[in-house]
Structure 1
Amino acid sequence: MKLSEMLQKINLQPSITRDFEVATLAPLDHASQNDISYIDQNKYLKNLSTSQAGAVLIREKDAYAVPSHIQAIVVSDPHLAFAKLSHFFAKPQFCSPCFQDNDAHDQNIGKNTIVMPHVFLGKNVKIDEGCLLMPGVVISDNVHIGKNCKIFPNVVIYRDTQIGNNVYIHAGSVIGSDGFGYAHTQMGEHIKIEHNGCVVIEDDVEIGANNTIDRAVFGETRIKKGTKIDNLVQIGHNCVVGEHSLIVSQVGLAGSTTTGRNVVMGGQAGTGGHIHIGDFTQIAGRGAVGKNLPPNTKWGGHPLMELDEWMKFFVTLRRMVKKKD
Structure 2
Amino acid sequence: MQWTISELVERFDASLLGSANTVITHLCTLEEGKPGGIGFFSNSKYVTAFYQTNASAVFVPKDFKPATSIAAALLSVENPYECFAMLIEEVHQERMASKRGIEFPSYIGEGVTVGENIYRGAFSYIGDHVSIGKHVQIYSHVYVGDYVTIGDHTILYSGAKIAPYTVIGSRCIIHSGAVIGSAGFGFITNAAGTYKRIQAIGNVVLADEVEIGSNTTIDAATIDKTIIGKGTKIDNLVQVAHNVQIGKHTAIAAQVGISGSTKIGDYCKLGGQTGIAGHLHLGDYVTALGRAGITRSFKKGHITLSGTPAFESKKFLSCYARFKNLAQLLEKRNDREKSSK
TM-score range, shorter chain: 0.5 to 0.7
The answer to whether the 8 Å contact 1:224/1:241 transfers is: yes
Change (3 A) 1:103 1:192: closer
Evaluate the alpha carbon distance shift between residue 111 and residue 197 of structure 1 in structure 2; reply closer, same or farther with a 3 A threshold: same
* Contact preservation (8 Å) 1:157, 1:174: yes
Q: Which whole-Å CA distance do the structure 2 matches of 1:181 and 1:100 have between them?
A: 38
Q: Distance in 2 between matches of 1:205 and 1:253?
A: 17
Q: CA deviation at 1:284?
A: 1.0
The answer to whether structure 1 residue 320 and structure 2 residue 326 are counterparts is yes
> Could you say if the C-alpha distance between residues 266 and 104 of structure 1 is closer, same or farther in structure 2, counting changes exceeding 3 Å?
closer
Match of 2:106 among 102, 106, 123: 102
Question: Using a 3 Å threshold, how does the CA distance of structure 1 residues 171 and 144 change in structure 2: closer, same or farther?
Answer: same
In 2, Cα distance between equivalents of 1:183 and 1:100: 44
* Change in 2 beyond 3 A, CA 1:158/1:104: closer
Distance 2:108 2:293 in 1: 49
Equivalent residue, structure 2, for 1:207: 212
The whole-number CA distance in structure 2 between the counterparts of 1:105 and 1:267 is 39
1:296 aligns with 2:313: no
Whole-angstrom distance in 2 between the partners of 1:322 and 1:249: 36
Q: Offset at 1:303?
A: 1.8
Instruction: Point out which structure has higher relative CO (alpha carbons under 8 A, 6+ apart).
Output: 1
How far did 1:315 drift?
2.0
Aligned residue among 180, 185, 197 for 1:180? 185
Which string of whole-angstrom CA distances, capped at 9 and with x for unpartnered residues, describes residues 2-43 of structure 1?
A: xxxxxxxxxxxxxxxxxxxxxxxxxxxxxxxxxxxxxxxxxx
Structure with max Cα Rg: 2
Q: Distance in 1 between matches of 2:275 and 2:109?
A: 44
CA distance, structure 2, for counterparts of residue 103 and residue 286 of structure 1: 42
- Separation in 2 of the partners of 1:137 and 1:124? 16
Change (3 A) 1:302 1:103: closer
Partner Cα distance (1:104, 1:226) in 2: 29
The one-letter code sitting in structure 1 at the alignment partner of 2:105 is: D
Q: Does 2:200 align with 1:195?
A: yes
Q: Does 1:225 align with 2:214?
A: no
- The answer to whether the 8 Å contact 1:100/1:121 transfers is no
State the AA in 2 paired with 1:168.
I
For 1:309, which of 305, 308, 315 is the aligned residue?
A: 315
Q: Partner residue of 2:156?
A: 151
Residue 260 of structure 1: which of 261, 265, 270 is its match? Answer: 265
Cα offset for 1:102? 3.5
Deviations 1:62-110 (A, max 9, x none): xxxxxxxxxxxxxxxxxxxxxxxxxxxxxxxxxxxxx983357763111
**Aligned partners of 2:107 and 2:258: how far apart in 1?**
39
Give 3-state SS (helix, strand or coil) of 1:299's partner.
strand
CA spacing shift, 1:136–1:184, aligned 2, 3 Å = same
For structure 1, which runs of at least 5 residues remain unmatched after alignment?
1-98
Asked if the contact 1:162/1:200 (under 8 Å) is kept, the reply is: yes
Please say if residues 109 and 128 of structure 2, whose CA atoms lie closer than 8 Å, have aligned partners that are also in contact.
Answer: no
Q: Structure 2, unaligned stretches of length 5 or more?
A: 1-102, 332-341
Between the aligned partners of 1:110 and 1:324, the Cα distance in structure 2 is 71
CA distance in structure 2 between the partners assigned to 1:239 and 1:260 by the alignment: 11
Task: Find the residue that maps to 2:204 and give its secondary structure.
Answer: strand
Count of aligned residue pairs for this structure pair = 227
Is structure 2 residue 144 aligned with structure 1 residue 139? yes
Corresponding residue number in structure 2 for 1:29: none
Note the aligned Cα RMSD (angstroms): 1.8
Q: For residues 105 and 290 of structure 1, what CA distance do their matches in structure 2 show?
A: 45
Q: What residue in structure 1 maps to residue 16 of structure 2?
A: none
Conservation of the 8 A alpha-carbon contact between 1:149 and 1:168: yes
Query: Which deviates further from its counterpart, 161-170 or 301-310?
Result: 301-310
Q: Distance in 2 between matches of 1:207 and 1:278?
A: 22
CA gap of 1:100–1:151, structure 2 versus 1, over 3 A, is same
In 2, distance between residues paired with 1:241 and 1:225?
9
CA gap 1:158/1:187 in 2 versus in 1, 3 angstroms: same
8 Å CA contact retained: 1:100, 1:120: no
For residues 106 and 115 of structure 2, the distance between their equivalents in structure 1, rounded to whole angstroms, comes to 14
**Aligned-pair distance for 1:126?**
1.1
Does residue 168 (structure 1) correspond to residue 173 (structure 2)? The answer is: yes
> How big is the shift at 1:235?
0.2
2:227 maps to a residue whose letter is R
* Distance of 2:284 and 2:327 partners within structure 1: 37
Q: Structure 1 counterpart of 2:138, which letter? A: L
Number of the residue aligned with 2:256: 251
SS in 1 for 2:301: coil
Instruction: Report SS of the residue matched to 2:325.
Output: helix
What amino acid maps onto 2:285 in structure 1? F
